[in-house]
A and B are shown apart, each in its own frame.
Chain A
Amino acid sequence: MDMAKTIITVATTGAWPKKENNPNVPMTPQEIANDVYDCWQAGAAVAHLHMRDDDGNGTMSTDKFRETVTLLREQHPDCDVILNLTTSGDLNATDETRQAHLKELRPEMGSYDCGSMNWLNSSLFINHPKFLEALGKNMQEWGVKPEIEAFDPGMIANAAYYLKKGVLKAPLHFQFCMGCANGIPGNMKNLVFMKETMESLCPGSTWSCFGVGHSAMEMLYGAVALGGHIRVGMEDNVMYAKGQLADSNRQFVERAVRVIREYGNEVATPADAREILGLK
């Protein structure tokens, strides 16, 4: 019998952590390109990328995305990692700048945040229905598979609505974002609930998850045990363990590889991941 294959996604940078929080967070296009290659060598099949401006703040600059992708492809032509570019890297970005890089660069995947929420009790993370409808249709036209980021069960219900409306196309792939402020808390009971909600509303979908802070390890083990996939990296956690800053994103990927293998699963290669996710 074939072993189950688990996809590791590495989220290298995010829009939030800075060098003051962890000096090992990759920030520049060159740092991010090097980091993605390093993580791919360690076992990551998917790289979820955010960009930073020259001051270290999150940006949706197409120039930064282009530079990073170009560096990765030119310097590491052997790297077949699946690129998943964010559409939510700057709270002040426009609907246009949130998708311009997808149109130009045509990555295999892009994030799709399926609802709006309060942001750190201080701002708003807006994903207007008009934006989501346009983004879903554009991603279909551009051949970019959406990764449905769900911060709570309502966002799964929203994805089901867009599926019925044709804005999204089955099979969907979800990223359950567990333990984020104002989202669903990260614990096993809630992870099971997210999975079961997905299975009832969007049957046939695949899923991955990550946990921030205290829930990171519980979500890692839970994803593997429940047949999902896992995301790790400094976008979600700058600490590797209690009181220990992460040395690198590779360190997180290597831990995920160990957990997956100890459980008895196989770490999915990018080719495996393309098959699992239905990428062309």
Chain B
Amino acid sequence: MSWGPCFMYYHCEDCGKKFKYAVDMIPVFGDRFGFCPDCGREGAFEQDGARIPNDAEYGEVED
């Protein structure tokens, strides 16, 4: 049994962007994990899980 990739969901308190990081990308992003891809501010953590119902509203941050 698997549950697909696990994400951590955030929003940016500066620009309002909603975004998510896949947990398996922690070693790739390092200290930048969880930061807004647009303005660089540390994101406000909302929740984590394997694709929440409104998952599509959150842009996945890619390397």
Residues of A within 8 A of B (CB): 11, 14-18, 20-21, 50, 58, 86, 88-89, 111, 113, 119-122, 125, 149, 177, 179-181, 185-186, 210, 212-215, 235-238, 242
Contacts and interface: CB of A to CB of B under 8 A. Distances in A.
Given A17-B51, A214-B24, A120 B3 contact: yes
A181 B1 contact: no
A34 to B, nearest CB: 22
B53 interface: yes
A113 B23 CA distance: 22
Given A179-B24, A185-B27, A186-B24, A213 B3 contact: no
Nearest to A233: B2
The prevalent SS among residues of A at the interface is loop
Contact of A50 (B1, B5, B23, B50): B1
Given A15-B1, A149-B1, A185-B24, A238 B6 contact: no
A214 B62 CA distance: 9
Contact of B1 (A113, A186, A238): A113
B3 A181 contact: yes
A21 B24 contact: no
B3 A15 contact: yes
28 contacts: A14-B3, A15-B1, A16-B3, A18-B53, A21-B55, A58-B1, A86-B1, A88-B1, A89-B1, A111-B1, A113-B1, A120-B3, A121-B48, A177-B2, A181-B5, A181-B23, A181-B24, A181-B50, A212-B2, A212-B4, A212-B24, A213-B5, A214-B22, A235-B1, A236-B4, A237-B4, A237-B5, A242-B62
Nearest to B51: A21
Contacts of B62: 242
Interface of B: 1-6, 22-25, 27, 48-51, 53, 55, 60, 62
A120 B50 contact: yes
A17 B50 CA distance: 8
| Residue of B6, B24, B53 with highest tally of chain A CB at under 10 A | B24
Given A21-B55, A181-B3, 19 more contacts: A14-B4, A15-B1, A17-B51, A50-B1, A58-B1, A120-B3, A120-B50, A121-B6, A121-B48, A179-B24, A181-B24, A185-B27, A213-B5, A214-B5, A214-B22, A215-B24, A236-B2, A237-B5, A242-B62
A176 to B, nearest CB: 11
Nearest to A86: B1
A238 B4 CA distance: 8
Contact of B53 (A16, A20, A180, A214): A20
A18 B4 CA distance: 12
A17 B4 contact: yes
